[in-house]
Amino acid sequence: MSQMQLSKKTEGIFHLVNKYIYRKDLVKLSSLYDNAKWGETHRFAQHYQKHFSPLRLKKLNILEIGVGGYDNPKAGGESLRMWKQYFPKSMIYGIDYVDKKHFEEDRIKIFQGDQSDEYFLKKVVSEIGDIHIVIDDGSSINEHRIKTFNTLFPALKEGGIYAEENIHISYWPSLGSKWSELAEKSAFLANCVNVGGSLDLNVSNTIMAMYKRLADGLNYQEFLNPGYCPSYFDKNIVSIHFYHNQVIVYKGNNNEGSNIIENNTIRPYILEELGVESLEDLGLEFPKSSQ
């Protein structure tokens, strides 16, 4: 065995030992798998450590969208292996548009399909069964991510966590036909050119816009809007955590009432304190839409 081969073997053993030593520390563990994704640029691991550490030793079904490596069927897979190491009793599932079954192994299973295809996602859910954590690091197209959330969040178990990475695409508008032609030659360029974000922070069709609305929904019982009909997400999201380029959502029963509002109208004793007999006496103009 040459000196170079011996050095590589020693380095490989050292790498494996470190993965075992740091198996409880997601920040250090992540740097051993894919530093390009988990290094200083993204800073995701520190937040996942905070939210996932209480669940580390539980038996979970974890689904990550986006295996990595773009259109190369033998590139990527680092995140799946990292989650397998961090969650020693859990089953790790992946979804990718490209066939990435090359990375399947014990406790890792990969589905090939389009994350914007509701039928495909529901088929995945039916095969997995209970899903406890979803991590979306897939398509860079806002519309795809929104469709995925609308399909998979309802499939989460009570107490489940939905994590969204790379929120920056909310702020990137799609480019013109000149760049679209270039994007046909590269999956990476396609991810940059066709995202469907906007320079306008007040638009309604981006990932971030969706999460801003969902944040309002946490307080739906405080809405002064008679006849308001709470959405599924109003009633089943209990917290949303915003970080740079990342959002983490907890599923639960959002039924905590209000001291002042009941059924989206002011409680009678408050009206009495205001010196009026009905809500109409306040002269307010309520939203025409219930949503």
DSSP 69-134: STT-TTS--HHHHHHHHHSTT-EEEEEESS--GGG-BTTEEEEES-TT-HHHHHHHHHHH-SEEEE
Where residue 65 falls among pLDDT bands split at 50, 70, 90? very high
CB 59 within 8 A of CB 90: yes
**Encoded amino acid at 241, one letter:** H
Which burial class, exposed, middle or buried, applies to 245 when counting CB atoms under 10 A from its CB (0-12, 13-18, 19+)?
Answer: middle
pLDDT at residue 74 greater than cutoff 60: yes
Q: Cβ of 54: how many Cβ atoms within 10 Å? A: 8
Domains belonging to the chain, first-starting first, are 36-256 (3.40.50.150)
Which burial class, exposed, middle or buried, applies to 288 when counting CB atoms under 10 A from its CB (0-12, 13-18, 19+)?
Answer: exposed
pLDDT at residue 93 greater than cutoff 70: yes
Which burial class, exposed, middle or buried, applies to 194 when counting CB atoms under 10 A from its CB (0-12, 13-18, 19+)?
Answer: buried
251: β partners: 237
Rg over CA atoms, the chain: 23
What's the confidence (pLDDT) of residue 36? 52
Mean pLDDT of 79-102: 97
CB 85 within 8 A of CB 19: yes
Listed residue (74, 115, 122) closest to 94, CA to CA: 115
Which burial class, exposed, middle or buried, applies to 94 when counting CB atoms under 10 A from its CB (0-12, 13-18, 19+)?
Answer: buried
pLDDT at residue 14 greater than cutoff 60: no
CB 115 within 8 A of CB 144: yes
Q: Average pLDDT of the chain?
A: 89
Calpha distance 135→148 (Å, rounded): 11
Roughly how many angstroms between the first and final C-alpha of the chain, as a whole number? 69
236: left (phi over 0), alpha (psi -120 to 50) or beta: alpha
Strands of the sheet containing 61-65, edge to edge, are: 108-112, 91-96, 61-65, 131-136, 156-165, 246-251, 237-243
96: β partners: 112
pLDDT at residue 39 greater than cutoff 90: no
Tally of helices (H runs) and strands (E runs) in the chain = 12, 9
pLDDT at residue 101 greater than cutoff 50: yes
Question: Who has greater pLDDT, 230 or 34?
Answer: 230
Where residue 162 falls among pLDDT bands split at 50, 70, 90? very high
What's the confidence (pLDDT) of residue 21? 86
**Encoded amino acid at 147, one letter:** K
Mean pLDDT of 209-229: 95
Question: Who has greater pLDDT, 86 or 289?
Answer: 86
Calpha distance 274→108 (Å, rounded): 61
What's the confidence (pLDDT) of residue 290? 46
